[in-house]
């Protein structure tokens, strides 16, 4: 970036400030999902892992949801379920990716538990 300083003078003398650098950052880019999560089929008792790949200006924040409700602590690019049960069959999962420029929600995926 450009460097600036200021010179102040009067009848008693002149002094120059320390240099300061001005850096202009590019505008932030809203996140986009480049690889959507994929539906999973597991046997009861197994875990399932969903993942997403996103692009955009860092830092990106992630929040996974099950049936539209935020999953506590599920804030990375991948999410592994606890051991599944038959009650998880048909549950939908998606992830909300956000940064300072915007938010995008992935396609919903379905968990099938056999």
Note whether 95 and 79 are within 8 A (CB): yes
Q: What is the pLDDT of residue 96?
A: 99
Q: Cα separation of 63 and 78, whole Å?
A: 10
- In the chain, the number of structural domains is 1
CATH number, residue 49: 2.60.40.10
Q: What is the pLDDT of residue 25?
A: 80
Residue in this structure with the two tokens 């480049």, named with its chain if needed: 34
Positions in the chain short of pLDDT 50: none
Q: Which residues pair with 51 in a beta bridge?
A: 78
Q: What is the pLDDT of residue 105?
A: 99
Whether residue 17 is contained in a domain is answered as no
Q: What is the pLDDT of residue 45?
A: 98
Whether residue 13 is contained in a domain is answered as no
Q: What is the pLDDT of residue 1?
A: 79
Q: Cα separation of 73 and 81, whole Å?
A: 11
Q: What is the pTM of this model?
A: 0.79
Whether residue 12 is contained in a domain is answered as no
Whether residue 21 is contained in a domain is answered as no
Q: What is the pLDDT of residue 17?
A: 93
Q: What is the pLDDT of residues 13-27, one digit of tens each?
A: 999 999 999 988 889
Q: What is the pLDDT of residue 21?
A: 93
Residue in this structure with the two tokens 């009848």, named with its chain if needed: 11
Full residue range of the structural domain in which residue 105 is found: 28-113
């Amino acid at each position: 970036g450009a460097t600036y300083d200021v010179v102040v003078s009067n009848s008693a003398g002149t002094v120059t400030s320390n240099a300061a650098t001005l850096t202009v950052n590019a505008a932030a880019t809203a996140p986009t999902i480049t690889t959507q999560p994929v539906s999973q089929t597991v046997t009861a008792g197994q875990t399932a892992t969903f993942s997403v790949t996103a692009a955009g200006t860092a830092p990106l924040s992630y929040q996974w949801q099950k049936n539209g409700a935020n999953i506590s602590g599920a804030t990375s690019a991948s999410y592994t379920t606890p051991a599944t049960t038959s009650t998880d069959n048909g549950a939908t999962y998606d992830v909300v990716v956000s940064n300072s420029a915007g938010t995008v929600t992935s396609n919903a995926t379905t968990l099938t538990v056999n």
